[in-house]
Structure 1
Amino acid sequence: MAENKCPQCGAPLDPQATECKFCGEKLAVQQAAQQFQQQSQQYQQQVQPQVVIQQVAPQPVYYSAINPAWPVKSKVVAGILALLLGGLGVHKFYLGKIGMGILYLLFCWTGIPAIIGFIEGIIYLCSNDENFQLKHHVRIE
């Protein structure tokens, strides 16, 4: 703890003393305290940071999961093939799904692939381009 000393004689002083008890020197403790307080207030006014908050509208971010390596196919052609030749699975061969196309060919005698192909043709023609591309892993012409 720092000890206060008289500037005149160097004798130790009490912290609340206004004059030295040895030499009688008047101490300017109160004046120094006031000056210090004024200086600290001025410093705080100068140092206080000016915070400016600026709101920026968020920009929409669009991600495309469409791979440029996918083959280019037409949604309309796939839909028409499914409507007309869906029972034979021609639309599946066109979209590159060979296994499903063979399955349609194997069961074409039952008529079930024709019904499913007709429904798929309507779905192909009614779906939007991005959903069609992502579902069937193709790019649209």
Structure 2
Amino acid sequence: MDFLKANSNRYSVRSFSDKDVNDKILTNIVKQAQQAPSWANAQPWKVCIAKVDTLDRIKRVYHNNNIKGLAGDSDFYTMHRNQWGNFARRNMAGWNNDFSRFLINNRVNFGEISDKLFDAPAVAFFTIEEFNPWSFMT
């Protein structure tokens, strides 16, 4: 598949099936992702994939933290929309309006499905142990 076709056909999944994903497929996806360029081929990341019992525990903790109103603990400062420039704010507002209409029209409770990590059968966590600014230039 060429880039233009792949790019125009991409989408974000917000509700997964409960079908298990074969470990060989997940391993192959990670191997393919390792072909992505990185600064001086440092490839500073590690990938951990959670499935079944481990993922169920993660989902429970995530859900319980949301119920308690605990904020996330991002490694990066999260910019509020008001801190972005006008162009980006207009894009965000347009997307938010479209997405809100979609949720209402399809009677989707986004908080509920995101709280369950969209029912994903596997979740990949990317980590960088040796942080430096060049790690994010990859």
Which TM-score band applies after superposition, normalised by the shorter structure? under 0.3
More strand by share: 2
- TM-score, normalised via structure 2 length: 0.22
TM-score by length of 1: 0.21
- Higher RCO, Cα 8 Å, sep 6+: 2
Higher-Rg member (1/2) = 1
